[in-house]
């Protein structure tokens, strides 16, 4: 097996030195469905760009147009307007462009439940254009890498949900696509399997694959993504680097919590300083320059925590989608 | 072209694995087909009376029946495959292949057919053993068989198009099975004049007639009827492909490829 690995090229071979290489460019996608003689605007205006090695979290509430957008990118739904380019190739005009993408779609099994792990990997490898021998070697490499070697001859329906999902990701990576679409990859997984999938996503991105990730688990999106695009009512309302977005929505306030109640005398001193007490143990310090004077007043009370009152992606997301 | 060959082998392998792993399904299918035919045969013999000799006519019925079961399989294959993939949630993964969907499902259908040919051989042997019918197998039967199979794939692509657009085609398939029985057993070789021309335009009918002539009556294939049968098969196959491409486009536009 190790000799098989040695013969294979690096997992992703398209990342070029320090250059930023745009893998996906989706421009002004629009999609309207006609149902019962009524037009339903599913996607109004979606533009996305993802570079090699980058993870873009594509977030939005249910019905916002995420899945339709992902499927337009994957060539499964034809947009009414706009264009999709994967390394300059349009999957709607040239089916060969589909060789450049892999996808794990939500609500799908993505693999054959009556076939074993190895059979699935080899079949989908050939389906995506690999030579059968290449597919065999690559499947061995991925089984090893995804810690599925001991389950290679098990039919998929006998595997745990976590293993099935890992296999689905491995299948999507068989042909080494530069773009990976992951729609809710951790949905319904237990903690251990979620950690496994997170680790794999990180590794795959580091190797140069561009990843579009949709999830409702915002903590995971925050951990994994380099950038965030939020879609609401069919329109991308925000597209920003994850850190920058969180910074914008975080204020520079401090949160101080003591282990015991702050005695009345000290509370009065704090109020005299203009500090707002949330409770007899919690202080919300809006003015950061007052941090050390406040700590001086609190001395020698034991402290539970002193932290910057930073927003999470969840806070940002909720604020943004609730905006009128 | 080599990619297509690799894919064909991969499909064949997949089908074979499933057949072996779930052999009970295939065996029950064969037993079902043989029982239905034997029932039909016994009824026909009862109606004809104990002294009647069915002879060539029995052989013709056997050919018609086996062709019918093969055509039913082909006819429902693409639509059935599409529906099964959609229900088990693998359709979209299949559609992410760089090959055109129509070609992909055709390759798959041909791989399925190869397996099905094998199963039908068992049906044919079982029926021959049960009824004492002896068919003269001849290589001359291959071209008319190709004509029938081409026509059947044309119709199958048509049913597949329907499955892409309206999803559930079981009811339609049920009705079409009986239309098929008519198309494959109607003796247009005995028709004359304008009704014969009409018969030649029906899908698969000219090929099925030729097969009866070759296999049941042991006569040689004549060139003109063979050409007609092949043209008929090619036209229906081409029509099927065009309709499927059109349906695929509509399904992609309406976002119907995914959800069932």
Query: Of the residues A215, A247, A279, which one is the last residue of a structural domain?
Result: A247
- A132 CB neighbours in chain B (<8 A) are 6, 9-10
Question: pLDDT digit string (tens) for A266-300?
Answer: 999 999 988 888 899 999 888 888 999 999 999 99
Q: Which of A8-12, B42-46, B140-144 has the lowest mean pLDDT?
A: A8-12
Nearest residue on chain B to A116, alpha-carbon basis: B17
Which of these, A133, A124, A31, A130, lies nearest to A76 by C-alpha position? A31
Nearest Cα of chain A lies from the Cα of B83 at a distance, in angstroms, of 14
Contact criterion met (CB < 8 Å) for A76 and B21: no
Percentage, residues of chain A above pLDDT 70: 94
From the list B89, B99, B249, the residue facing A110 with the nearest CB is B89
Which among A70, A77, A95, A150 is positioned nearest to A117, based on CA atoms?
A150
- Give the pLDDT confidence score for residue B57 in this predicted structure: 63
Contact A92, A106 (CB under 8 A): no
Which chain B residues are closer than 8 Å to A96 by Cβ? 98
CA-wise closest residue to A203 among A161, A240, A166: A166
- B-facing residues of A in 237-266 (CB < 8 A) are none
What span, in angstroms and rounded, lies between the C-alpha atoms of A232 and A212?
Answer: 17
Query: Do A46 and A142 fall into the same domain?
Result: yes
Beta bridge partners of A307: A255
pLDDT band at A13 (very low <50, low <70, confident <90, very high): very low
Q: How many CB pairs under 8 A join A and B?
A: 97
Distance CA A75, CA A181 (A): 12
- Nearest to residue A60, comparing CAs of A251, A278, A234, A303? A234
- pLDDT value at position B212? 80
B1 touching A (Cβ < 8 Å)? no
Other beta carbons less than 10 A from residue A244's beta carbon: 11
- Give yes or no for a cis peptide into A300 (omega within 30° of 0): yes
B96–A96 CB contact, under 8 Å: no
Cα–Cα dist B185/A282, whole Å: 89
Per the prediction, chain A carries an average pLDDT of 88
> Do A160 and A279 reside in the same domain of the chain?
no
Which residue from A100, A94, A250 is spatially nearest to A175, judged by alpha carbons?
A: A100
Distance from CA of A110 to the nearest CA of B (A): 5
Does position A11 have pLDDT exceeding 50, yes or no?
A: no
Stretch A139-147: mean pLDDT, rounded? 93
Residue A26 counted as domain residue: yes
**Average pLDDT estimate for A138-160:** 93
| Nearest partner of A104 among A167, A14, A157, judged by Cα | A167
Sign of CA dihedral A222, A227, A230, A234: negative
- CB spacing of A76 vs B88 below 8 angstroms: no
pLDDT digits (tens, 9 = 90+) for A108-119: 778 999 999 999
* A130 lies in some domain: yes
| Whether residue B133 has pLDDT greater than 80 | no
Q: What's the rounded mean pLDDT across residues A59-63?
A: 89
CB contact under 8 A, A76 and B96: yes
Are the Cβ atoms of A128 and B22 closer than 8 angstroms? no
**If you measure CA to CA, which chain B residue comes closest to A90?**
B98
pLDDT of residue A315: 82
Q: Mind telling me how many Å the CA of A185 is from chain B's nearest CA?
A: 15
pTM higher than 0.90, yes or no? no
Distance from C-alpha of B242 to C-alpha of A94, rounded to nearest angstrom: 18
Whole-number Cα distances in Å, A59 to A135, A168, A222, A233, B185: 34, 21, 11, 12, 59
Residue A324 resides in a domain:
no
Which residues of chain A does B7 touch, with a Cβ-Cβ cutoff of 8 Å?
A: 126-127
Given a cut of 50, whether residue A15 has pLDDT beyond it is no
Whether residue A145 is found in the same domain as residue A9: yes
Nearest to A109 among B22, B88, B104 (CB): B88
Strand order across the beta sheet in which A254-258 lies = A276-277, A282-285, A254-258, A303-308
Interchain CB contact of A96 with B (< 8 Å): yes
The pLDDT of A44-72, averaged and rounded, is: 93
* pLDDT given for residue B55 in this prediction: 58
Residue pair A323/A231 in contact (Cβ under 8 Å)? The answer is no
Domain boundary among A194, A212, A247: A247
Q: What are the residues facing A32 on neighbouring strands?
A: A41
pLDDT at B59 over 90: no
Cβ separation A115–B18 shorter than 8 A: yes
Q: Are residues A139 and A209 in the same domain?
A: yes
Strands, E assignment, chain A: 22-35, 38-51, 55-59, 81-86, 101-104, 179-183, 210-214, 227-232, 235-241, 254-258, 276-277, 282-285, 303-308
Q: Which of A247, A269, A293 is the last residue of a domain?
A: A247
B253 to chain A: which residues are within 8 Å by CB?
78
Q: In this structure, are A46 and A87 located in the same domain? A: yes
Q: Which residue of B has its CA nearest to A99?
A: B98
Q: In this predicted model, which residue has the larger pLDDT, B191 or A100?
A: A100
Average confidence score pLDDT of chain B? 82
Q: Is A321 among the domain residues?
A: no
Q: Are A166 and A158 in contact (CB under 8 A)?
A: no
What mean pLDDT is predicted for residues A228-242?
A: 91
With respect to residue A75, please indicate whether it lies within any of the assigned structural domains.
Answer: yes
Closest CA relative to residue B78, chosen from B149, B176, B16, B156? B156
CA distance A98 to B113: 28
What is the residue range of A256's domain? 252-308
The answer to whether residue A68 scores a pLDDT higher than 80 is yes
* Residue A135: inside a domain: yes
Please check whether residues A129 and A265 belong to one and the same domain: no
Tell me the DSSP string of A175-203.
T--SEEEEESTTTT--HHHHHHHHHHHHH
- pLDDT at A14 exceeding the cut of 80: no
Tokens describing residue B140 = 């001359």
Percent of chain B at pLDDT exceeding 90: 17
Q: Are residues A155 and A265 in the same domain?
A: no
Distance of CA A265 to the CA centre of its chain: 49
B89 at A interface, C-beta within 8 A: yes
Quick check: B95 and A78 CB within 8 A? no
Look at residue B259 in the predicted model and tell me its pLDDT: 54
pLDDT at A12 over 50: no
Is A113 in CB contact (< 8 Å) with chain B? yes
Give the mutation candidate from B93, B257, B260 for the A interface (greatest A CB count, under 10 A): B93
Asked if A124 has any chain B CB less than 8 Å from its own CB, the reply is yes
> What value does the mean pLDDT take over residues B124-148?
78
Residues A180 and A275 in one domain: no
Residue B21: which of A76, A114, A122 has the nearest Cβ?
A114
Examine the pLDDT at A164 and tell me if it is beyond 80.
yes
Least Cα distance to A78 among A113, A31, A12 occurs for A31
Q: Do B90 and A108 touch (CB under 8 A)?
A: yes
What whole-number distance in Å separates Cα of residue A313 and Cα of residue A279?
26
Stated length of chain B: 260
Domains contained in chain A, number: 2
Contact B10 A114 (CB under 8 A): no
* A262 shares a domain with A183: no
Pick from A168, A155, A165, A218: nearest CA to A193: A165
Instruction: Please indicate whether, in this complex, the C-beta atoms of A103 and B93 are within 8 angstroms of each other.
Output: yes
Question: Do you know the residue count of chain A?
Answer: 324
Residue B136: pLDDT band with limits 50, 70, 90: low
Least CA distance to A119: which residue of chain B? B14
Lowest-confidence region among A220-224, A236-240, B126-130: B126-130
- Of chain B, the percentage scoring pLDDT greater than 70 comes to 89
Residue B87 touches chain A, beta carbons under 8 Å: no
Confidence category of residue B51, pLDDT binned at 50, 70, 90? low
Q: Which of A2-6, A44-48, B94-98, B229-233 has the lowest mean pLDDT?
A: A2-6
Ramachandran category for residue A141: left, alpha or beta (phi over 0 → left; psi -120 to 50 → alpha): alpha
* Number of helical (H) and strand (E) elements in chain B, helices listed first: 10, 0
B254 touching chain A per CB within 8 A: yes
**Is some CB atom of chain B closer than 8 A to the CB atom of A109?**
yes
Residue with more model confidence, A324 or A183: A183
Residue B65 — very low, low, confident or very high, per pLDDT cuts 50/70/90?
A: confident
Check if B90 contacts A (Cβ < 8 Å).
yes
User: At B135, is the pLDDT very low, low, confident or very high (cuts 50, 70, 90)?
Assistant: low
Give the C-alpha separation, B154 to B160, whole Å. 10
A183-230 residue pLDDT tens: 989 888 889 889 989 999 999 999 999 999 999 888 899 999 999 999
Give the pLDDT confidence of B202-226 residue by residue, as tens digits: 888 888 888 888 877 777 888 888 9
Is the Cβ pair B90, A109 closer than 8 Å? yes
Residues A279 and A239 in one domain: no
**H runs (alpha helix) in B49-203:** 55-88, 91-95, 101-131, 142-166, 170-185, 194-201
Q: Comparing C-alpha atoms, which of B236, B240, B175 is closest to residue B206?
A: B236
pLDDT attached to residue B258: 65
Cα within 13 Å of Cα(B37), Cβ side: 29
State which residue of chain B sits closest to A35, comparing Cα positions. Answer: B254
User: Is A144 in the same domain as A272?
Assistant: no
Distance from CA of A172 to the nearest CA of B (A): 9
A165-187 pLDDT per residue, tens: 999 999 999 999 999 999 989 88
Q: What is the pLDDT of residues A247-273, one digit of tens each?
A: 887 777 888 999 999 999 999 999 998
Handedness of CA A24, A25, A30, A34 (dihedral sign): negative
- Does residue A256 sit in the same domain as residue A226? no
């Amino acid at each position: 097996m190790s000799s098989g690995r040695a013969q294979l090229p690096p997992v992703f071979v398209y990342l070029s030195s320090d250059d930023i290489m745009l893998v996906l460019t989706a421009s002004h996608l629009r999609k309207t469905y006609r149902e019962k003689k009524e037009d339903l605007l599913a996607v109004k205006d979606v533009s996305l760009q993802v570079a090699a090695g980058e993870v873009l979290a594509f977030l939005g509430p249910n019905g916002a147009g995420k899945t339709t957008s992902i499927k337009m990118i994957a060539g499964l739904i034809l947009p009414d307007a706009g264009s999709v380019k994967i390394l300059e190739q349009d999957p709607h005009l040239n089916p060969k462009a589909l060789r450049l993408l892999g996808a794990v779609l939500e609500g799908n099994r993505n693999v054959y439940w009556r076939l074993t792990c190895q059979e699935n990997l080899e079949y989908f490898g050939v389906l995506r254009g690999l030579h059968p021998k290449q597919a065999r070697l690559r499947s061995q490499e991925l089984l090893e890498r995804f810690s599925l070697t001991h389950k290679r001859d098990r039919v998929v329906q006998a595997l745990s949900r976590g293993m099935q999902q890992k296999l689905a990701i491995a299948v999507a990576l068989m042909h080494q696509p530069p773009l990976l679409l992951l729609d809710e990859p951790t949905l319904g997984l237990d903690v251990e399997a979620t950690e496994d999938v997170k680790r794999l996503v990180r590794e795959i991105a580091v190797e140069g694959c561009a990843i579009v990730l949709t999830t409702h688990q915002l903590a995971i999106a925050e951990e994994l993504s380099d950038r965030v695009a939020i879609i609401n009512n069919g329109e991308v309302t925000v597209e920003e680097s994850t850190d920058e977005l969180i910074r914008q929505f975080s204020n520079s306030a401090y949160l101080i919590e003591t282990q015991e109640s702050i005695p009345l005398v000290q509370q009065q001193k704090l109020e005299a300083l203009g500090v707002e007490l949330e409770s007899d143990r919690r202080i919300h310090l809006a003015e950061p320059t007052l941090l050390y004077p406040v700590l001086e007043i609190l001395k020698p009370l034991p402290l539970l925590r002193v932290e910057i009152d930073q927003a999470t992606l969840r806070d940002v997301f909720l604020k943004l989608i609730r905006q009128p | 072209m080599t990619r297509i060959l690799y894919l064909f082998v991969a499909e064949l392998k997949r089908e074979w694995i499933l057949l072996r792993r779930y052999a009970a399904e295939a065996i029950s299918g064969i037993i079902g087909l043989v029982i239905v035919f034997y029932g039909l045969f016994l009824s026909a013999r009862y109606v004809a009376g104990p002294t009647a000799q069915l002879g060539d006519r029995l052989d013709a019925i056997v050919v018609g029946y086996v062709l019918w079961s093969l055509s039913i399989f082909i006819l429902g294959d693409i639509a059935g495959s599409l529906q099964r993939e959609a229900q088990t949630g693998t359709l979209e993964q299949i559609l992410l292949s760089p090959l055109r969907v129509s070609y992909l499902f055709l390759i798959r259908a041909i791989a399925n057919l190869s397996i099905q040919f094998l199963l039908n051989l068992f049906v044919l042997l079982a029926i021959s053993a049960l009824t004492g019918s002896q068919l003269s197998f001849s290589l001359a039967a291959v071209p008319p068989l190709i004509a029938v199979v081409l026509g059947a794939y044309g119709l199958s692509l048509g049913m597949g198009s329907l499955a892409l657009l309206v999803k559930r085609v079981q009811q339609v398939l049920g009705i079409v099975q009986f239309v098929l029985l008519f198309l494959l057993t109607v003796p247009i070789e005995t028709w004359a004049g304008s009704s014969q021309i009409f018969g030649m335009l029906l899908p698969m009918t000219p090929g099925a007639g030729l097969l009866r002539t070759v296999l049941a009556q042991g006569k040689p294939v004549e060139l003109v009827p063979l050409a007609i049968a092949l043209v008929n098969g090619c036209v229906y196959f081409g029509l099927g492909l065009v309709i499927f491409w059109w349906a695929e486009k509509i399904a992609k536009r309406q976002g119907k490829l995914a959800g069932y």
